[in-house]
């Protein structure tokens, strides 16, 4: 069977946008309109003749609208195989009429959760009859057209106008595929909400993930790769995917990746002094806290002025004019901020390609959640690294106890190191990074690179000595040998923060004591790959 003439349509929608226009188009083709509750009311207000679903079924809508369309006269009319004699006989025997078109969009479950409704209201917005009709119609797409998205109304009307009020099998197949995706997404959001509300099991047997395509990207990590951005469609999503873009070119794959890394790090400082993060290739290349955002940006930029070119910047305060002017003085790809004042936006307006993303309140760095990584044949899933430490968590393991300034720098360096690709070494002094070594296959090389970058920054700035002199150094994992530690000593570090836990801890501690270092263990590792 190919074309099916639409004689009867069942309409039941939560979103009334475009409903009247669709109803008029169907009426123009002589289609009988059958509808429920609020949808029937809206169609009548548009001047259309409508048959109530209760008239079709012989039963009233009941139980506060929970039972309306769950009836054999509805689902028989949707599921019957019309060229099957037994099905045709059953329809005749039970006075079941065929339904050729179903137009349904579901109760606004995600929106109800997002607005903070209580549990009873959320439960009432779990649609039962709607998904049942959608699945019945989609299963029987050989005979029935199913529309779940108002964006498809114009295409449906155009098809009816072009074919004398009929739908093609090709159109019905496409609409059926979209309908099954809609119910799968809807059910996944509900399952996700139940799982979020009851977090007794971190890793359930099945893990529903709801993604909605937000943008087709020009290309992926490289120009020969195709890419798209999919946003979490669940009610609890918060991040770069939900940030508002005020200006600039469309975000690319690498922009999204880097902006996400920048937001993840700046969130660690959401309750701290004004702080700026500069990220390149998903690694921080400068981080600083100061009395003002402009001062924080200047200190972060000074850590690595070369890598900052074309970078992504994130701040933990609404952007002001002076900070925006400093940022705009060099080429910057993306700026991420909770908000931006008029003066800052005016500065950026002159930089048409610069992308400005406003997030609202920064995410809670301690929030629960899962991270997933695609591998061949499956996914690796882990709880997100939301581990944080404070002064009370530190264990002094050397003879010399760190000073208060050294402890503050240790914690600052440790927070940054958590967000640097392993092996990670971070030098910090006075609330700013002095040198960052990332992604090396051995820890000593990361320490050398961080020290070299600090020395290079000092030469470029004309400082008398690199800022690693008198700094604290953080390592994302333990020092397996003393050599990495001694590299930090050569760079001028006076304090060390690391997880500890090596079988050679005693050797490393002895080397620290001999060098006069103060060293603390955190008992927590922060590998990042």
pLDDT at 450 over 90: yes
- Given this structure, which CATH class describes domain 246-358? alpha beta
Q: What is the pLDDT, as a whole number, of residue 146?
A: 96
Q: What is the pLDDT, as a whole number, of residue 213?
A: 86
Q: In the β-sheet with 8-13, what is the strand arrangement from edge to edge?
A: 51-52, 32-35, 8-13, 101-105, 145-147
pLDDT at 68 over 90: no
Beta-carbon neighbour count of residue 97 at 10 Å? Answer: 15
CATH fold match for the domains 246-358 and 393-521: yes
Gap between the Cα atoms of 3 and 18, Å rounded: 25
Q: For the chain, how big is the Rg over CA atoms in Å?
A: 30
Is 421 tagged catalytic? no
Residues 258-279: tens digit of each pLDDT = 999 999 999 999 999 999 999 9
Domain ranges of the chain: 4-197, 246-358, 393-521
Return the structure tokens found at 45: 């207000």
3-state secondary structure 12-52: EECCCCCHHHHHHHHHHCCCEEEECHHHHHHHHHCCCCCEE
Lowest mean per-residue pLDDT among 31-45, 58-72, 280-294, 402-416: 58-72
pLDDT at 476 over 80: yes
Nearest residue to 34 (alpha-carbon basis) of 21, 47, 49, 46? 49
Q: Which of 173, 238, 281, 351 is catalytic?
A: 281
Q: What is the pLDDT, as a whole number, of residue 203?
A: 78
Of 338 and 368, the one with more pLDDT: 338
- Enclosing H/E stretch for 425: strand 425-429
Gap between the Cα atoms of 343 and 475, Å rounded: 40
Gap between the Cα atoms of 39 and 47, Å rounded: 13
Given the structure tokens 């939900």, which residue do they identify?
Answer: 242
What is the distance of C-alpha 116 from the center of its chain? 19
Nearest residue to 484 (alpha-carbon basis) of 518, 454, 516, 449? 449
Burial (CB < 10 A; 0-12, 13-18, 19+), residue 208, is middle
CATH 3.40.140.20 fits 393-521, yes or no: yes
Q: Which of 5, 16, 139, 178 is catalytic?
A: 139
Give the β-pairing of 425-429 and 432-437: antiparallel
Highest mean pLDDT among 64-68, 248-252, 388-392, 468-472: 468-472
Give the architecture-level CATH label for domain 4-197. Answer: 3-Layer(aba) Sandwich (3.40)
Enter the pTM of the model. 0.82
Compute φ and ψ for 123, nearest 5 degrees.
-60, -40
Is 281 tagged catalytic? yes
Do 487 and 451 touch, CB atoms closer than 8 A?
A: yes
């Amino acid at each position: 069977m190919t074309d099916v003439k639409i004689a009867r349509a069942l309409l039941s929608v939560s979103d009334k946008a475009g409903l009247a226009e669709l109803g008029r188009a169907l009426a123009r083709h002589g289609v009988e309109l059958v509808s429920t509750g609020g949808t029937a009311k809206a169609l009548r207000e548009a001047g259309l003749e409508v048959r109530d679903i209760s008239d079709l079924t012989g039963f009233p809508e009941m139980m506060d609208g929970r039972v309306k369309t769950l009836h054999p006269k509805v689902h028989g009319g949707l599921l019957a195989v019309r060229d099957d004699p037994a099905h045709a006989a059953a329809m005749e025997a039970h006075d079941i009429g065929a339904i050729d078109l179903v137009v349904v969009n579901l109760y606004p479950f995600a929106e109800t959760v997002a607005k903070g409704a209580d549990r009873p209201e959320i439960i009432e917005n779990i649609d039962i009859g709607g998904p049942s009709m959608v699945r019945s119609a989609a299963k029987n797409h050989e005979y029935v057209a199913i529309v779940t998205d108002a964006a498809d109304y114009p295409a449906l009307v155009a098809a009816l106008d072009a074919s004398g009020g009929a739908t093609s099998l090709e159109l019905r197949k496409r609409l059926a595929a979209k309908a099954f995706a809609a119910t799968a997404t809807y059910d996944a959001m509900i399952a996700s909400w139940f799982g979020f509300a009851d977090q007794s099991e971190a890793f359930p047997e099945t893990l529903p993930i709801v993604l909605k395509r937000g943008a087709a990207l020009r290309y992926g990590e490289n120009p020969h790769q195709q890419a798209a951005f999919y946003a979490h469609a669940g009610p609890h999503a918060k991040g770069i995917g939900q940030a508002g873009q005020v200006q600039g070119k469309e975000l690319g794959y690498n922009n999204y990746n880097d902006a996400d890394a920048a937001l993840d790090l700046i969130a660690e400082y959401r309750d701290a002094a004004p702080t700026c993060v500069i990220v390149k290739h998903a690694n921080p290349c400068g981080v600083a806290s100061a009395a003002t955002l402009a001062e924080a940006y200047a200190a972060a930029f000074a850590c690595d002025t070369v890598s900052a070119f074309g970078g992504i910047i994130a701040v933990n305060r609404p952007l002001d004019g002076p900070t925006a002017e400093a940022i705009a003085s060099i080429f910057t790809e993306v700026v991420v901020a909770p908000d931006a004042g008029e003066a800052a936006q005016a500065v950026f307006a002159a930089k048409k390609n610069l992308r400005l993303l406003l997030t609202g309140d920064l995410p809670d760095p301690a929030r629960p959640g899962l991270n997933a990584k695609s591998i061949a044949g499956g996914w690796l899933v882990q709880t997100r690294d939301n581990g944080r430490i404070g002064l009370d968590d530190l264990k002094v393991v050397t003879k010399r106890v760190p000073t208060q300034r050294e402890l503050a720098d240790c914690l600052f360096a440790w927070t940054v190191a958590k967000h640097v690709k392993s092996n990670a070494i971070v030098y910090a002094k006075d609330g700013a990074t002095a040198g960052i070594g990332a992604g090396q296959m051995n820890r000593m090389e990361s320490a050398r690179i961080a020290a070299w970058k600090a020395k290079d920054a000092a030469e470029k700035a004309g400082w008398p000595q690199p800022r690693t002199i008198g700094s604290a150094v953080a390592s994302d994992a333990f020092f397996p040998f003393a050599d990495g530690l001694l590299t930090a000593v050569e760079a001028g570090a006076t304090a060390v923060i690391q997880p500890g836990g090596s079988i050679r801890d005693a050797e490393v501690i002895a080397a620290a004591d001999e060098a006069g270092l103060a060293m603390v263990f955190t008992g927590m590792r922060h590998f990042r790959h």
